[in-house]
Structure 1
Amino acid sequence: MGDCGCDKAKKDLEEYLHNELCSEEAADIREHMENCTDCSDELKVGVVLTEAVKRACEETAPEQLKAEVLLQIRSYQKH
C-alpha cells in the first residue's frame, strides 16, 4: 500500500464514502486521509452530507401535503 495522493483521494471520495472501492484502493485512500488534513476535512463534509441525504430519504411527507399534491395532479389530468 502507498499514499494515493490528494488528486486520487478527492476523485474517488464519493465511491469511498459508499464502500464502492476494492479493499486495496479503499485502504490507500484511508491511509491518505489519516495523513492529509485537507482531504480528511473533505471526507468529514462528505460523511455529513451523506448522512443528511440518508435521513432525508427516510422521511415521509405529511398526509395533508400528500392529499394536496394528489388533488393538484388530478386537476391537471382532467384538462
Structure 2
Amino acid sequence: MTDCGCDQAKRDLEEYLRNEVCSTNAADIREHLEHCTSCQEEALLAKTLTDAVQRACKETAPADLREHVLERLRAVQATH
C-alpha cells in the first residue's frame, strides 16, 4: 500500500465511497484518508450528501401529489 495523495483521493472519492474502485486503489485511498484531514473532511461531506440522496430516492410522493401529477399528464396528453 502507498498513500495515493490528495489529487487521486479526491478524483476517486465518489467511486471509493460506492465501493467501485479496485481493492488496491481502495487501500491506497483509505490509507490517505487516515492521514489527511482535508480529504477526511471532503469524504465526510461526500458521504453525507450521498446518504441524503439515497434516502431521498427511497421516499415516495404523497398519494394526492401523485394523483395531481397524473391528472396533469393526462390533460397534456389529451391536447396532443
Q: Give RMSD over aligned pairs.
A: 0.4
Deviation at 1:59, TM superposition (A): 0.2
Indicate yes or no: 2:25 matched with 1:25: yes
Q: Which runs of 5+ in 2 are unaligned?
A: none
Q: Report the counterpart of residue 57 of structure 1 in structure 2.
A: 57
Moved over 2 A (4+): none
Equivalent residue letter for 1:2 = T
Deviation at 1:3, TM superposition (A): 0.6
Equivalent residue letter for 1:4 = C
Deviation at 1:43, TM superposition (A): 0.3
Indicate yes or no: 2:34 matched with 1:34: yes
1:9-59 CA-to-partner distances (Å, cap 9, x unmatched) read: 000001001000111100000000000000000000011011101100110
Q: Report the counterpart of residue 76 of structure 1 in structure 2.
A: 76
Alignment length (residue pairs): 79
TM-score scaled by length of structure 2: 0.97
Q: Report the counterpart of residue 9 of structure 1 in structure 2.
A: 9
Equivalent residue letter for 2:5 = G
